[in-house]
Structure 1
Amino acid sequence: MLGNLVLVACFLGSSFAADPPTAHINGATITGVNNGTVSQFLGIPYASPPNGDRRFRRPEPLEIFSDRDAKVYGPGCPAQAVKFPGTFAGSTNISTLTNEIPEFHNSKFPMDEDCLTINIMRPVSAGPQNSYPVVVWIYGGAFETGDTQSYDGLGIRIIQRSAALGTPVIFVSMNYRNSAFGFLGGQQVYDEEVGNLGLWDQRVALRWVKKHISAFGGNSSKVMIWGESAGSISVALQMIGPDNGANTENLFQAAFMQSGTVVPVGDIRDAQKHYDFLVNATGCDIPKTDTLGCLRGLPYQTLKDAVDKSQSFTSYESLNLAWVPRADGLFLKGDPQKLARDGLVAKIPFVAGCMVDEGTFFAVSTRNITTEAQFRTYIHENFVAKAPIGELDQLWTLYPSNVSEGSPFNTSIFNAATPQFKRMAAFQGDVVFQAPTRFFLQSLSGRQKAWSYLSRRFKSIPFFGSFHGSDLLLNTLDDYVIRFAVNHDPNNGTGVVWPQYTKASPRRYTFPPTGSPTIELDTQRAAQMAYLTNLSLTYPI
């Protein structure tokens, strides 16, 4: 008899443990799914589908008032096709590396314009009785690609690791519009006030988090936004936002940026040539036609095919991107670098850092540039076309053709796939990642608490070194992300102390190729960084 009671108790216990997780918002029950020790609520819409006449318009918030299953991811937003070559420098198999990093390969998951959904992960034991810190992940992909499902493993490991550390967090991710669907520019976009739609998507999702995350066990007053690459840049731009850094909505209280801060972009009307390309490629260039209205009325596949033909980070133009956030007078009231210089950034604690060889992967598409003349012409026409060529003499000196001074840095004459490859990698990594990050940190020094890092992990990878995105592969920063979300400090009282960054003492946490972190000064290539910063402030890309 006693044995039977034990069996019944065990059966009931396992049954209760297997019950799907639920949350309640607006009187509706949201039913998720358990995945081992993690409960997931997936594919919850936070805005109306941005298709039909809502295409190229700001997101319309959507509330749920009826019961809903949230057990599978929604489709990703339309992503631009990635066209990396399979091999490089004769025999190096790029796909071996790119397949591990979502932003470097085409999504393996469905895409659709009806994509504005949000996902929540929590420990299986969590519920509305808890009030855990919240980590909001914003994916990268050069503002051209990306989806939340590709980072399912990231969310799970953050939840599991946070629980193992005894400091559980809630993990949130949102889909936002990519490529032309989210970052169309041009005069027509400016006139209709529909620029930076991907940033507005993120903003609406963050408002949803503030309103509803407590129902899932999260603390809406302890939200950290976290991103990598375009996601990291998005974090910085959300810190500026439509209120010029006043943080009036109090949507987040901390930020963690991996490889990207305020990029040197100009006015949204400067993107007219990219708008015109789409109009011409889709047949919407008929005189006296409402071209933006025509683009809204196109069949999805027609528009998607045209977007796939536009320049991208894998094409010859590389990091001179077509579809990026730009100053539109609304979400971004000016050049984000100048706004940061003026301190118009949310005064919250943050972490910002880079890989040492950020530019190597982005130099692959320019491997046919092999001479001094070609390099100079490319840099001038592609990155600083508004600058008189005579003003760039110092650039050629600061970024010489000597392969020993290029990236991967500190690898002597090795890894020179072409005579200009390492030079191109050094320039692109500095102009888009390293120099803006240093400028961001120094501009905000004394205004708020800040920490910085540099990673040299993976330094031995041929041609690419410590390449962009490899920190996600190695889980290098997971513990620090969790600590910062919980304590707004990356330290835990043991090991090497990570000091705050100040302009007077720009110390940063450094991950060597192997071994424990060290502390060094953020002073490398000082002349190059200062020159590029001044150049981008005068002639934004």
Structure 2
Amino acid sequence: MLTKRAILASLAVRALSALASPVDRLVVQDPFSYQVSDHTCASPESTEQLVSTPEVYLDDALFTGIRKGVTDQFLGIPFAHPPTNERRLRQPEPLPPYQGLYYVQEFGKSCPQQRLNLPNGLDSQLVKDIGGAVNVLYEKLTPAGEDCLTINVVKPSSATPGSKLPVIFVLDFGGGFEIGGTSTYDGGSFVARSIDIGQPVIYVSVNYRLSAFGFLPGKEVKAEKVGNLGLQDQRLGLKWVQTYISEFGGDPSKVTIWGESAGAISVAHHMLTNNGNNEGLFRGAIMQSGGPIPVGDIENGQQYYDFMVEKTGCSKAPNTLDCLRKVPYSTYKRAMDDSPNFFAYQGLVLAWLPRVDGVFLKEPTQYSVLRGNVANVPMITGNCDDEGSLFSISTMNITTTAELKDYMKLYMMPKAKDSQVDLLLKYYPDDQRAGCPFDTGLKNALSPQFKRTAALQGDFVFHGPRRYLLQHRADKQKSWGFIHKRGKDLPFVGAAHITDVPNSFGVGPVLSELRDYFIRFTNNLDPNGKKGLGIPWPQWDPKKPKAAIFQDSTLFPIIIGDDNYRTDALNYVANMSLLYPI
């Protein structure tokens, strides 16, 4: 085992060797690399780099990051054994204590991404543009592979092991549990902004397994207790923070978990697992376009397990799950790519998502909320106004109420009675002016039932779970709500899903008040902070619900308004979710 003294001695010998070289620029030609826990760590090019780059000790290892502006970034730190070969489709395994030298200056690979194939029969140029853009983003710009369980830490350069700064733990790359990676978001600008406003934080992001690698359903998966592996990866990342974040200047008792879309759904499930006992892993939660979605037993997704078994040639294997572990990566990936994605006809009834596995989730999420099995921590939860529009483009061929009813019966409420579906549709009338994108009149009607379908999908998966959580928990734990209505002029989709992300990350020439609210919440467990900066944001009150509304207005970009839209409809959606979880 290498001690810190041994590590320093090794570096000193290499530096002295370089000094003896007859060259103008000190260059260390290092014939060695260090194999640590299946990760090869290349040596730096020069002692100049060693001097100018930040370093941190973890166990008996020296980690060298990179300095960018006022931040030090340590990227691609492995936190678990690579889930490859026999470790595929198994619980994540923590690494032994670190040893040796690590150069962590670039993001690690993202976990395998599912290709977003377009639904058959849709030749819309809009659909092609959206699908093509997403595939380019995640296939071309986000390199992926099975060896992907890495964590990133971005800290103020001035932070030391004694700084005890609050930590924001980010699950925020969305993607419907099918695509995404930590490299798509800039933690550096977030930390720099926190320094600017005098509320410094440490930003941690984690990669986790996706799609058929991380959320394989089925009775075989349930029997081996290997469901919800993506959530288990996240939980192990949270435990890594408890062990190591103090070395970066963070306070392990001041962790806030934050996610958008699939990340927000993940945050909600961390609040529900373990009967609501958060094990001291976090003290606050931020959910941006996601919450405790209405999911049922993991066997409800048996058809997707069977699909993978058939597509990989494992049908005749005596143990199909073992067979899936052994097939070549390319075979498994190709089968996953052929499965339904969130642009498929079934929309937000996702093939790959968290389900009740008996380990991480022991009961349907709505039941956990109803029973009070929720981590009692302050929380922020909000949605974009038109959450369902983007995911309803694939259903433009639905043109009548009868066809919409058939769709709801086939996908969203397969066990519901006809009378229950009929009543649901009365809450969502066949009137373009009442549909999503909301408050746009007769505009954006891509098809006769598009706006109606979009309203239903958005309410079942996003608005309904958010309102349900607030109604049952806001009187028991400090809660704040928001609605993001900016972008209403976007053709066809309006203030769609993810249109609030630039606001929370400060991307481009946009207002980014959400980012400041989230930074203050991470520091103070109150988005207003101790000084009450910005528009005062009231706590959510079940009797008089108010939310911060972010809107397209130069004079009043933020207002505080009533959070009681579609009350009867969302209450009915909640009841149906209790009776018929996905």
TM-score under structure 1 length normalisation: 0.92
Q: Secondary structure at the residue paired with 1:49? A: coil
* One-letter amino acid of the structure 1 residue matched with residue 524 of structure 2: N
Q: Does 1:28 align with 2:58?
A: no
Instruction: Tell me the percent identity.
Output: 45
Q: Which runs of structure 2 are paired with 1:372-387 in the superposition (5 Å)?
A: 372-387=401-416
Q: Does 1:144 align with 2:173?
A: no
Q: CA RMSD in A?
A: 2.0
Q: Secondary structure at the residue paired with 1:219? A: strand
Distance 1:107 1:91, change over 3 A: closer
CA contact (8 A) 1:103 1:146 kept: no
Q: Secondary structure at the residue paired with 2:154? A: strand
Structure 2: runs of 5 or more not aligned: 1-47, 507-511
Q: Does 1:201 align with 2:223?
A: no
Q: Secondary structure at the residue paired with 2:560? A: strand
Q: Which runs of structure 2 are paired with 1:204-215 in the superposition (5 Å)?
A: 204-215=236-247
In the alignment, what sits opposite 1:262? Answer: 292
Deviations 1:413-459 (A, max 9, x none): 11101111111111101100001100011111221111101110111
Q: Does 1:192 align with 2:227?
A: no
Q: Which runs of structure 2 are paired with 1:461-480 in the superposition (5 Å)?
A: 461-474=490-503, 475=506, 476=512, 477-480=514-517
Q: Which runs of structure 2 are paired with 1:337-376 in the superposition (5 Å)?
A: 337-376=366-405
* One-letter amino acid of the structure 1 residue matched with residue 270 of structure 2: Q
Distance 1:89 1:423, change over 3 A: farther
Q: Secondary structure at the residue paired with 2:500? A: helix
Q: Secondary structure at the residue paired with 2:467? A: helix
In the alignment, what sits opposite 1:481? Answer: 518
Q: Secondary structure at the residue paired with 1:125? A: coil
Count of paired positions:
519
Between 1:491-500 and 1:379-388, the stretch displaced more is 491-500
In the alignment, what sits opposite 1:244? Answer: 275
Deviations 1:460-513 (A, max 9, x none): 111111110011123341111101001110114144211111211211111122
In the alignment, what sits opposite 2:578? Answer: 537
In the alignment, what sits opposite 2:358? Answer: 329
Q: Secondary structure at the residue paired with 1:66? A: strand
2:548 corresponds to which of 509, 516, 538: 509
Distance 1:343 1:452, change over 3 A: same
Give the whole-Å Cα distance in 2 for the aligned partners of 1:517 and 1:19.
Answer: 43
* One-letter amino acid of the structure 2 residue matched with residue 245 of structure 1: G
Q: Secondary structure at the residue paired with 1:470? A: coil
| Shift in Å, 1:18 | 6.8
Distance 1:96 1:79, change over 3 A: closer
Deviations 1:93-135 (A, max 9, x none): 8747985x89985462211111000000112222223111101
| Shift in Å, 1:309 | 0.4
In the alignment, what sits opposite 2:478? Answer: 449
Distance 1:316 1:143, change over 3 A: same
Q: Secondary structure at the residue paired with 2:275? A: coil
| Shift in Å, 1:89 | 9.5
2:197 corresponds to which of 158, 165, 180: 165
Distance 1:16 1:270, change over 3 A: closer
Q: Secondary structure at the residue paired with 1:44? A: strand
| Shift in Å, 1:254 | 0.5
2:336 corresponds to which of 307, 312, 323: 307
Q: Does 1:396 align with 2:425?
A: yes
* One-letter amino acid of the structure 1 residue matched with residue 101 of structure 2: D
Give the whole-Å Cα distance in 2 for the aligned partners of 1:483 and 1:205.
Answer: 23
Q: Does 1:75 align with 2:109?
A: yes
| Shift in Å, 1:390 | 2.6
Deviations 1:509-537 (A, max 9, x none): 11122233111121111111011000010
Q: Does 1:253 align with 2:253?
A: no
CA contact (8 A) 2:117 2:131 kept: no
Q: Secondary structure at the residue paired with 1:199? A: helix
CA contact (8 A) 1:103 1:142 kept: no
Structure 1 moving runs of 4+ over 3 Å = 15-18, 88-99, 101-107
Give the whole-Å Cα distance in 2 for the aligned partners of 1:16 and 1:270.
Answer: 53
Q: Which runs of structure 2 are paired with 1:38-117 in the superposition (5 Å)?
A: 38-62=71-95, 63-83=97-117, 92=126, 95=129, 99=133, 106=139, 108-117=141-150
Distance 1:95 1:168, change over 3 A: farther
Deviations 1:324-380 (A, max 9, x none): 101111111100111011111111100001010001100011122222222111111
| Shift in Å, 1:320 | 0.6
Between 1:521-530 and 1:367-376, the stretch displaced more is 367-376
Between 1:102-111 and 1:457-466, the stretch displaced more is 102-111
Q: Does 1:528 align with 2:569?
A: yes
Give the whole-Å Cα distance in 2 for the aligned partners of 1:259 and 1:495.
Answer: 22
Distance 1:526 1:145, change over 3 A: same
* One-letter amino acid of the structure 2 residue matched with residue 177 of structure 1: R
In the alignment, what sits opposite 1:12? Answer: none
Give the whole-Å Cα distance in 2 for the aligned partners of 1:350 and 1:396.
Answer: 32
Distance 1:38 1:429, change over 3 A: same
Between 1:103-112 and 1:176-185, the stretch displaced more is 103-112
Q: Does 1:498 align with 2:537?
A: yes
| Shift in Å, 1:259 | 0.4
* One-letter amino acid of the structure 2 residue matched with residue 375 of structure 1: L
* One-letter amino acid of the structure 2 residue matched with residue 82 of structure 1: L
TM-score under structure 2 length normalisation: 0.86
* One-letter amino acid of the structure 1 residue matched with residue 349 of structure 2: N
In the alignment, what sits opposite 2:34? Answer: none
Give the whole-Å Cα distance in 2 for the aligned partners of 1:194 and 1:104.
Answer: 30
CA contact (8 A) 2:405 2:422 kept: no
| Shift in Å, 1:389 | 2.0
Give the whole-Å Cα distance in 1 for the aligned partners of 2:542 and 2:183.
Answer: 39
| Shift in Å, 1:20 | 0.5
Structure 1: runs of 5 or more not aligned: 1-14
